């Protein structure tokens, strides 16, 4: 969930966050709390602290704390220092690490790096960096499915069923995959970690599509 009352900034932040996951954009604290009361659990809460209306970002953050929200939360402010953010509420200060506080103005690279470093998200097979890394690794379609599935926390049983492979064929595929990645004798989890690490590093250093600075 992205909570930002400035339409232009909300649009730009959502553009870059959608590189990692679906984004629900809300423009008021009232609407944010309304959605947080529902059973849906958002992978990430992005909260602008200074909002128009009766309910501020601090109020939304306090609601998330009281609800024991366990997902990653970023708070953003262009009008307060980090010390101001944490002086607002001692309870919120204990709930939120300082590394999750972002100050405006920020760059697209700041958004991307912050999400990569703190949020687990599924890798999309159609994402250009995923495609590029799999091509560079010279993976076959089945090997890509296996490595990417494991990187996205799919179980071996789920992947075997999706590919329709029996036990001997599955083991042969894993051996070939590990050999191709220079991981002979290791596990599928090692292949998953390698693929995920390389894709995230590619995302981290890539030039943003639309360089910008929000104020």
CATH code given to domain 2-121: 3.40.50.2300
Nearest to 93 by CA among 62, 123, 72: 62
Q: Is the peptide bond before 105 cis (omega within 30 degrees of 0)?
A: yes
The H or E element that residue 114 is part of is: helix 108-118
Tokens of 99: 């590394």
Same fold, 2-121 and 128-205: no
Instruction: Please give the Cα distance from 15 to 35 (Å, whole number).
Output: 21
pTM of the model: 0.67
- The count of other CB atoms within 10 Å of the CB of residue 186 is 14
pLDDT tens column, 57-107: 888 988 888 887 767 788 887 765 555 655 555 555 555 655 577 877 777
pLDDT tens column, 137-166: 999 999 999 999 999 999 999 999 999 999
Cα dist. 42→22, 31, 36, 49, 167 in Å? 10, 14, 8, 18, 37
The domain segmentation of the chain, as residue ranges, is 2-121, 128-205
CATH code given to domain 128-205: 1.10.10
């Amino acid at each position: 969930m992205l909570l930002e009352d400035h339409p232009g900034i909300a649009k730009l932040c959502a553009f870059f966050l959608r590189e990692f996951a679906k984004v629900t954009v809300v423009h008021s604290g009232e609407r944010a709390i309304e959605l947080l009361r529902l059973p849906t659990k958002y992978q990430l809460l992005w909260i602008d602290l200074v909002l128009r209306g009766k309910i501020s970002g601090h109020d939304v953050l306090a609601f998330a704390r009281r609800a024991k929200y366990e997902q990653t939360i970023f708070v953003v402010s262009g009008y307060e220092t980090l010390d101001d953010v944490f002086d607002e509420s001692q309870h919120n200060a204990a709930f939120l690490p300082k590394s999750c506080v972002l100050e405006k103005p920020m760059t697209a690279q700041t958004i991307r790096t912050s999400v990569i470093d703190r949020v687990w998200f599924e890798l999309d097979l159609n994402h250009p960096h995923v495609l590029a890394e799999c091509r560079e690794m010279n993976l076959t379609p089945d090997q890509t499915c296996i490595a990417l599935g494991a990187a996205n926390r799919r179980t071996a049983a789920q992947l075997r069923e999706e590919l329709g492979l029996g036990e001997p064929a599955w083991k042969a595929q894993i051996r070939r995959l590990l050999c191709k990645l220079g991981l002979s004798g290791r596990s599928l989890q090692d292949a998953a970690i390698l693929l995920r690490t390389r894709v995230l590093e590619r995302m981290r250093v890539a030039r943003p599509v639309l360089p910008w600075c929000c104020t």
